[in-house]
Amino acid sequence: MEIKNVTIVGSGQMGHGIAEVFALSNYHVFLEDAFEDALKKAQKSIETSMEKLVKSGKLKEENRSAILSNIKYSSNLEESVKGSDLIIEAVPEIMDLKKDLLSKISEYARPDAIIGTNTSNFRITDLSKSVKNPERFVGLHFFNPPVLLKLVEVIKGESTSGKVFDEAFALMGKIGKTAIRVFKDSPGFVVNRINAPESLLFCIILDKKIASPEAVDRFAKSQGLPMGPYELMDYVGIDTVIHSLEYYAEALSPEYGKCKAFKQKFDAKELGMKSGKGFYVWENGKAKIPDVPPTDKLDLLDVLAVEINEAAKVVEEEIALPEDIETGVKLGMNRPFGPVSVAQGLTSAEIRKKLDQIHERFGAELFAPATSIKEGKLRELFSKKEFQKAAKEKPQTQPSANSIAGSTTGKVSLEKKGKVSIITIQNQRLNLIDAQVLQELERTVDEIADDRETLAVIIRGNGGIFSAGAELSQFFNGSKDFMEFSRKGQKVFKKIQESPKIYIAQIEGYALGGGFELSLSCDMRFSTEDALIGFPEVQRGILPGWSGTQRLARLIGISRAEYMILSSERITGKQAAEYGLVSKVFPKNTIGDETLQFATKFCEETAPISAYLSKISVNRGYDGSIDEGLWIEALSMGVLFSTDDIKEGVSAFIQKRKPEFQGK
């Protein structure tokens, strides 16, 4: 069924935010609420939000009126839902309230309409008992604020049909969201389920008077997290945290009922930002956090080990796949890394030891190691790509990664146009290079190396940005891990330099740090005039660690290389061409076409073996003495003399025709 008309029931912060998201994607939306005052407040909030989007340049002024007209406001439930293709319930997290409302919605809705719930915790299966035809009922958990946060958890209840589950998942992509699949219904689903034992941990810290909220929050921010745990709970609402813990105590484990400190705040009506005071006093939407030293009673790995443990349980219970857990935690909790990537830098033994310590210190069975951690099988668990049951239901929306003609592995995509292969880095807005990008890039480079048809390769970034550098906010468990991250980048970039294919970097926007180093490993660099190129590393306390200190000096000389590295000055593509860093400069609106045209012509007119040996001669000769370089050059000539391509090239030249090289 094609979804065109959507009804959101409940006009609170989540409800009106979800309505705005659908309206921005040109869906016709009914926003329903039994209270007229709530609807007026919601309409004003949506209009204010639209104004902010216009001012920020995310929405054109001429489109605002049309988008606002997509939303109709109503306090008549029956009229609001009867013609809709999708109805989403978004009322407060009260089980009886939701059940009563869902019963009425399913009474008024068309029999084929999909009914969704924006519950953040309640099992979809429990709520589905109030819905007629529960196979059409699905969980759609948006995150707050819905207009800004990309994540949506799509949850399959026990009765939800596979077709509805797939349709709901696909729809989230159409409205610009990043959806993750929750295959098995469980309280808290993925993000809140993983966050739940953390909430208990931070409550016990206060109950045992181990550290103050402000000291813990200062510690969290010192570790690079955007918000401390207590500040975040204040922002969300301590009442929300309490209700969640009470539900988890009933549905998951009675240990969630141990928390005392949060209950005291709740009883005192100190609920956080919504009441003006919680753990902190709030003014103008900001918490006034006392300036105290970070606590030394807590280690970042304490928190991360608890997350890893719960993530392991989520995979063991076949609730969600590791990749979706990682995406969910990063986007849902606004974090640079999730538990799966953190676990990659640790052994099961290290995690088990830490969990045993936490278990003993805080006295909660929830912190005891999961089965896979006890058995030393965590790495195997987190490498899962599918569940037996889920695999049958999971639609194949991407081309096969084995097909070089068009494969997408997540953050690196590959397409082929004749003899030219195009690698695109697509890691959010700035195309930062993290461990996953390096892994996928290496796999793609290896795949291309084995493809006899490809002669030239273009590396570019998605969205008009080559790459703004390495993702340094990912988790590193000490100096050794950071060193290995450096060695990994060096290894991948060396594969590009030594590849039998000719690599061209198509530089647009930013080519900074690790992105600049990636371009330096290529054989040629094409750039727009206004691209910004440079090494900001020393201003961040590091250095260009993916071969930049070595490659740059070889290209432009020691003096100029040291200046670029030590000053962190950014130069334009035009300046880079003057330095000899960039081979060609093109206008911004034509660089893609010009680069592809050059690569295509190069493939048509160049003998593959000749190109490869020329590349080797230049690179190897430059690294050694001139005598060594001359020997490599002479040996290459000897090899070429025995090829079919030299005969074809000479014959074509004499006959004044275009050569047809076979790479033989």
**Looking at residue 369, what DSSP letter applies?**
P
Please tell me the distance from the alpha carbon of residue 444 to that of residue 456, in angstroms, as a whole number.
Answer: 14
Contact of 22 with 90, CB cutoff 8 Å: no
3 state SS for 20-77: HHHHHCCCEEEEECCCHHHHHHHHHHHHHHHHHHHHCCCCCHHHHHHHHCCEEEECCH
178 beta partners: 151
CA 2 to mean position of chain CA atoms: 28
Handedness of CA 457, 462, 466, 468 (dihedral sign): negative
Please tell me the distance from the alpha carbon of residue 385 to that of residue 407, in angstroms, as a whole number.
Answer: 17
- Tokens standing for residue 628: 């060594």
Contact of 547 with 516, CB cutoff 8 Å: no
Residues ≥6 apart with Cβ < 8 Å to 67: 23, 24, 26, 50, 59
Residues ≥6 apart with Cβ < 8 Å to 130: 98, 99, 100, 102, 103, 106
* From 89, 153, 167, 517, the catalytic residue: 517
Residue 440 is among the residues annotated as catalytic for this protein: no
Question: How far is the CA of 79 from the CAs of 9, 17, 110, in angstroms?
Answer: 12, 21, 12
The DSSP element (H or E) to which 461 belongs, if any, is: strand 456-461
* From 89, 214, 326, 537, the catalytic residue: 537
Residue 158 is among the residues annotated as catalytic for this protein: no
Kindly report whether the peptide bond that precedes residue 145 is cis, defined as omega within 30 degrees of 0: yes
Q: Exposure of 374 by Cβ count < 10 A (0-12 exposed, 13-18 middle, 19+ buried)?
A: middle
Cβ atoms < 10 Å from Cβ of 623: 11
- Tokens standing for residue 30: 């009914």
Contact of 390 with 321, CB cutoff 8 Å: yes
Buried b (16+ CB within 10 A) or exposed e, 381-415: bbeeeebeebeebbeeeeeeeeebeebbbebbbbb
Residues involved in catalysis = 517, 537
